[in-house]
Amino acid sequence: MKLLVLFALCALVAASAAAPRSENHEVLVYDLPRDIVPEQRNFLLNVLIRQLFNFIRDIIQNGSWLIGIPPLDPLKLESFHLVVPAGLINLDLELKNILMKGLGGFVVHKSDLSTRDLVFDLDIAFPKIDISTEVYDLTGDLLTAIPIFGNGRARFFVDKFRLRAKLYIKPSDDEKAVIIDKIEDVSFDLPTIKSEIEGAIGGGDIDNIVNAIVEDVVIDYVNRFRGAISKIGAGAVVTVLNPILEKLDTWRYLKPFL
């Protein structure tokens, strides 16, 4: 029984990723056997969740023309502006034409779904994120007296970024997709960031000094204000992800477990 249902679930998930979407298509709904025991139900649910993460990873890396999503790894961003008023050291850093690599390499450490409350307890890590920018503009000061500034290319390497959160999920209005209702209990770890800024005024050893300052100040600032950053980030994730999630026909796979 377990193997039969397992193969059926895997086949359905694989078919959903490959089958073309249309407005008037027949939805196949799979019903779990009435006599399935809780252990089997949990086993099958975990299999389904793992398949879902594999599907998400594939979309991030390769995109999907069927649902109109381009590859998201590398992720292209037009600009990013960071202001760090740290007191002894103040930085104003603007990045333009950004390329972010490594999002598709995420590792799932925990993915527990409570079907009673529709709460997804998630713990994921990104082993290595590589951020490059064609142009950066940096201004700032040290001890409000020594100016820091530069312009040129830059790269940043983030290692072992880890994110934990509880995602409250719900069906979309048309009951076809699983979407995010809200995100709570967000926390993250940012152990290290390596900066490779070129073009700081003075060059040579000055570049190394500026890179060291940027690394220490950014890490300290992010860790100090992680609560506010988490709250802002959670809202942004819901805004960005839900339009994508609404394109995926996923609610029918979760519904039999409820």
pLDDT given at position 254:
86
Q: What is the pLDDT along the chain (258 residues), one digit of tens a residue?
A: 333 333 333 333 444 444 444 333 333 444 555 555 566 777 788 888 888 888 889 989 998 888 788 898 999 999 999 888 877 788 899 999 999 999 999 999 999 888 888 999 999 999 999 999 999 999 888 877 788 888 899 999 999 999 999 999 999 999 999 999 999 999 999 988 999 988 877 555 677 888 888 888 888 888 888 888 888 889 888 988 898 889 888 898 888 888
The full 3-state SS of the chain, as one line of letters, equals CHHHHHHHHHHHHHHHHHCCCCCCCCCCCCCCCCCCCHHHHHHHHHHHHHHHHHHHHHHHHHCECCCCECCCCCEEEEEEEEEEECCCEEEEEEEEEEEEECHHHCEEEEEEEECCCCEEEEEEEEEEEEEEEEEEEEEEEECCCEEEEEEEEEEEEEEEEEEEEEEEEEECCCCCCEEEEEEEEEEEECCEEEEEECCECCCCHHHHHHHHHHHHHHHHHHHHCHHHHHHHHHHHHHHHHHHHHCCCCCHHHHHHHC
pLDDT given at position 37:
58
Looking at the whole model, is its pTM more than 0.85? no
In the chain, where are the structural domains located? 2-257
CATH code for the part of the protein at 2-257: 3.15.10.30
pLDDT given at position 185:
94
